[in-house]
Chains A and B, each alone.
Chain A
């Protein structure tokens, strides 16, 4: 199967390629010949140069308007751009899981989502996943000829290809299918500065123990260059917006470092962060379940521990 086209669906925001796409291109190189699939307004020269640098030989562009938000239209667009690709990689998001499902129904592909890796074995794709709140590792073989794999961010180290040329930009002819669903309204969510939660290498989260004050959590995230997360109790209280919720029903994160502040460690929360590289927890209760999965646990009041940690880290950074 090696030598075959491996399509990578590009995630981009404001025209800039998201880091998980570069990770997926890196992974795609070990599976075959990567091509990038770009949905929306055509990419800038800079964006296609970036895709080329990470191994994409071509960028296939499907121009899509607002209807591209609808899973069926999106899946049809990816299908139009990838008829020759036995392997399609994408970032594991709720929308992409739907796109993967619909595309697979067209092509007969097997699908694995939330994977942390993929490789070829005897002509088929095999994937790694952590399941059951990250307490088990499983290896899945896609037995069908075609495979669609949705990967979690931060599971492959993105590297450029030495001396790679620019990717050629190709426009895909596409006519959006008629679908029964219709977009009535779209209201943009204001995006915060910095890396989105799902992609961040460092996540600092606050729970009920913050009592609604996220200043310390934000300051620690800032000094570590990370994103801010929260528990459902915190988002339900309205202390912070829903987009920050980490967990099985919120965002699943797999950063190199996860810092849990004033979070008990309920199974629903753990399911969304337990596969993180290093876990640090600050909690006043020595029996909090979060300590069972923490590499370092500090039993203490976050109002004492965090300011001291922030000051020490700032000093270190300045040094």
Chain B
């Protein structure tokens, strides 16, 4: 079983974030692998462990800091790490990002075929949840998204997908792109041995030229959307916190009544 996991470098949700020229400003010390991609790495490791053979690749697309995302995947047990970085990727939208990831995946797949690509359900910064669909389409592989359960047998992957109105079971032939939700599994903690090994493990660095992608087809110039303006939301005025001394419920009710909300 050969599986590639896409992992995104995202800023720490608790840290102060800002926008500069329409993109997210990041510093090396306040970011890491997107938390939801831990579920993707875990899903891949479990499938390989169950199969008793196989390899897990971790792939990220991003600036120099993004290498932290694949290092985290190595700590969790991934066997290989690839970091695609190129100044021309800056300003990419979902479709540009998918194109870069797809080109890198094809390069790995051509060397030795992959069975699956596993992604997280959303990146906790962009949060579009669009990338897995765009990636499957670009590769021309089956699309099995938002899996809360995943099984692989007889050249097919089967997932359970929780939609608001129904739970669906969907199957498709390999190779497939699968996105897993945080319900799919409980990610493991990295162990000391792997942490030490991950420090020294090599990370393959590719530029756009290495994967045969022309920068003008993926970066800001190609983007179909462009952030025009960004501003921190103003702090709410008139916030109040009161301690219940016996009439807290009345205070709450009166507040809603005065605001016309009840």
Give me the interface of A with B, judged by CB distance under 8 Å. 13, 69-72, 93-95, 97-98, 100-102, 104-105, 108-114, 126, 130-144, 180-189, 191, 196, 198, 202, 223-224, 242-243, 248-249, 251, 256-257, 267-268, 271, 278, 280, 282, 286, 291, 293-301, 304-313, 316-317
Contacts and interface: CB of A to CB of B under 8 A. Distances in A.
B19 A138 contact: yes
Interface string B147-184: 00000000000100011111111111100000001110
B127 A131 contact: yes
Contact of B183 (A13, A136, A242, A312): A242
A102 B137 CA distance: 8
A317 to B, nearest CB: 8
Interface of B: 13-14, 17, 19, 36, 93-95, 121-122, 124-125, 127-130, 133-134, 137, 142-146, 158, 162-173, 181-183, 223-233, 236, 238-244, 247-257, 259, 261-262
Contacts of B13: 132-133, 267-268, 271
A300 B244 contact: yes
Contact of A184 (B94, B158, B165): B158
Given A133-B13, A141-B228, A294-B239, A312 B253 contact: yes
B137 A105 contact: yes
B171 A182 contact: yes
B130 A300 contact: no
A104 B224 contact: yes
Contacts of A71: 133, 143, 145
Contacts of A97: 128-130, 133
A243 B230 CA distance: 32
Given A102-B137, A295-B238, 7 more contacts: A69-B163, A94-B129, A105-B95, A132-B125, A291-B241, A298-B244, A312-B249
10 contacts: A98-B143, A105-B137, A130-B233, A140-B227, A143-B225, A183-B168, A185-B169, A196-B164, A278-B261, A299-B244
Given A71-B143, A130-B233, A143-B226, A184 B247 contact: no
Contacts of A317: 262
Q: Is the interface of A mostly helix, strand, loop or mixed?
A: mixed
Which of B165, B240, B255: most chain A Cβ within 10 A?
B165
Given A136-B232, A278-B261, A282-B252, A305 B244 contact: yes
A181 B144 contact: yes
A188 B163 CA distance: 9
Given A105-B95, A249-B36, A298-B252, A141 B166 contact: no
B253 A316 contact: yes
